[in-house]
Amino acid sequence: MQKSELNRGQFLKQLGMSSKALMAFYCMGTLAACSSDDGVEPQGNNNPGGQQGTSNAIVGNSTGSNINFTLDLTDANFSKLKTDGAFDYAGDVIIANVGSESYIALSKKCPHQGTSVEYRKDNNDFRCPNHGSEFATSGAVTKSPAGSGLTVFKVVLSADKNTLSISA
């Protein structure tokens, strides 16, 4: 291997420094969080809410204009959706449990400036926390400043109640 192909860790190891010494060397100068002997960043889920489609619980397309995916409600990231009044995000979609094992899925981005809307159990509607736009479960605007509504998606709960199929 040519020297130009060595990364910093390999180079320092060739100088005789142990992994522990390497970690101390890395951390000393930067005060950055160091948690791995091999320099590989940990692959933990930094998105426990299951947003942005990072979870294996989402299969299919949960972003863009062709929404069509399934959501595993037994996955730890989404199991809270089995609770009446709970809501969560999968990609570009907000899913709300509106009670009696019924679910609603809408586009999550407020048409005003793109903030993710939230479900309000007590009002059975959706509200944008940014400037206060409100939307009915039909997606229609009930309070401005949003000038247009949210897109409603079709939601089917599987017979075993463990999977949602969401599509345009």
Q: How far is the CB of 134 from ligand FES (least distance, A)?
A: 9
Please say whether the beta carbons of 83 and 94 come within 8 A.
no
| 133 sits near ligand FES (criterion: CB under 6 A) | yes
| Region at 11 (left for phi over 0; alpha for psi -120 to 50; beta for the rest) | alpha
Q: Which of 128, 141, 150, 155 binds ligand FES (CB under 6 A)?
A: 128
For ligand FES, the closer CB: 141 or 164: 141
**With CB under 6 A as the contact rule, which of the stretches 34-42, 44-52, 89-97, 108-116 interacts with ligand FES?**
108-116
For ligand FES, the closer CB: 62 or 133: 133
Q: Which residues pair with 152 in a beta bridge?
A: 106
**With CB under 6 A as the contact rule, which of the stretches 12-20, 31-39, 78-86, 130-138 interacts with ligand FES?**
130-138
Q: Distance from CA of residue 135 to its chain's centroid?
A: 22
| E-only strand ranges, the chain | 58-61, 68-72, 87-90, 93-99, 102-107, 118-120, 125-127, 134-135, 141-143, 152-157, 163-167
| 145 sits near ligand FES (criterion: CB under 6 A) | yes
Chain residues in the site for ligand FES (CB under 6 A)? 110, 112-113, 115, 128, 130-133, 145-146
